[in-house]
Amino acid sequence: MSCKRAILLGATLLIVTVAGCQPAARLGVSGTVELDGAPLADGTISFRPQPGTEGPSGGSPITAGEYLVEAEKGLVPGAYLVEIQGWRKTGRQTKTMTGHVVDEIEHIVPVRYNDQTELTADISRDTPTEFDFQLTSD
């Protein structure tokens, strides 16, 4: 085998090997969140990869019932647990440990949607990456 041909073969194998080791491209994810039929005004949504999904967690604020995880910070294909937190102002104010006065908030999304979540999402390149969640406070 000529030296030139050996170098070309080696370069081709290197490109194939490196391409095979690249992490999967991330996908943007979006959707809506309702609580008792109304858009969730303020909150967060988090996607946690499940065993077998090789990827980072991702998430986004929820504003007026909508969320968007941009592709550059998105999710790789796989199975995820979804955690949703939501809150509202009580109309009262409270002091922090540092002495600042802040609006008091209360959590309004049941634990079955966050700390003990029942929600899942399967992210795939072959299906839409829009997930809408209708939650109930019962």
Among 21-25, 71-75, 103-107, 127-131, name the one with the lowest average pLDDT: 21-25
CB within 8 Å of 31: residues ≥ 6 apart: 66, 67, 130, 131, 132, 133
Please state the domain count of the chain.
1
In a domain, 14, yes or no: no
In a domain, 122, yes or no: yes
In a domain, 56, yes or no: yes
Burial environment of residue 66 by CB neighbours within 10 A (0 to 12, 13 to 18, 19 or more): middle
Q: What is the pLDDT of residues 20-54, one digit of tens each?
A: 444 568 999 999 999 999 999 999 999 999 999 98
- The residue range of the domain holding 34 is 25-135
Are 65 and 41 in contact, with CB atoms under 8 Å apart? yes
In a domain, 117, yes or no: yes
In a domain, 1, yes or no: no
In a domain, 16, yes or no: no
Distance, C-alpha 1 to centroid of its chain:
51
Among 9-18, 47-56, 106-115, 120-129, name the one with the lowest average pLDDT: 9-18
Q: What's this model's pTM, rounded to 2 decimal places?
A: 0.77
In a domain, 6, yes or no: no
CATH of the domain at 129: 2.60.40
Strand 78-95 versus strand 119-123 pairing type: antiparallel
In a domain, 60, yes or no: yes
